Amino acid sequence: MFEILKSFESKFGSLKKKGLRIEGLSMIDPKRKKHVIMISKPFLFDNRLLPKTYEGLDIKSKIEGGLPEEFKIEKEAIKKDYLWAPFKFEQYVDRCSADIKKQFNNPDMSRAEMLDALAFGSFEEHKKKTLTLMQEGKIPTFKLN
């Protein structure tokens, strides 16, 4: 398993310049002995550069540092608000597209590309998954825009 981690580090280690931190292996399910590769990254990170899984291990990530104002939730609103609601990504991209293009060093980046980069690799996939979770009652209901 450590060979997989070393392979992951050699393949994606260059992303450390962009803020990626590879934290190592973690067991998330002791009963099934399920391991994952844990990483952390800044909010403003192009998630399309990383796979969701690597050689059979899921990639679990956490955001390091602060979040933009669109994503801040008051403590008393945590159960009523969904942190990663799709409209929040849209509002952020609409407000900060120039900064995002500059951060990703891509002045020709489209709105859709920015949304994909920020919303875990595929904005439309994230939107569908979020709507499903909302319908199942697993996350709070929110307006689409």
Torsion of CA 94, 45, 52, 121, to 10 degrees: 20
Asked if pLDDT for residue 23 goes beyond 90, the answer is: yes
The pLDDT, as a whole number, for residue 143 is 66
Domain ranges of the chain: 2-64, 69-135
Reduced to 3 states, what is the DSSP secondary structure of residue 42?
Answer: strand
d(CA 115, CA 92): 9
State mean pLDDT over 130-145: 84
Beta strand pairing call for 57-64 and 34-42: parallel
State mean pLDDT over 107-125: 97
Neighbouring residues of 143: CB distance < 8 A, sequence distance ≥ 6: 87
Q: Which residues pair with 25 in a beta bridge?
A: 37
Asked if pLDDT for residue 30 goes beyond 90, the answer is: no
State mean pLDDT over 39-43: 97
Q: What burial class does residue 108 get, using C-beta atoms within 10 Å of its C-beta: 0-12 exposed, 13-18 middle, 19+ buried?
A: exposed
The pLDDT, as a whole number, for residue 145 is 56
The pLDDT, as a whole number, for residue 144 is 62
Asked if pLDDT for residue 9 goes beyond 60, the answer is: yes
Confidence of residue 28 (pLDDT cuts 50, 70, 90): confident
Residues 121-137 pLDDT 10s: 999 999 999 999 999 99
Residues 65-93 pLDDT 10s: 999 999 988 776 666 788 899 999 999 99
d(CA 129, CA 131): 6
Tokens of 127: 């939107």
**Which pairs count as long-range contacts for 95-102, CB under 8 Å and 24+ apart, including other chains?**
95/70, 96/68, 99/44, 100/44
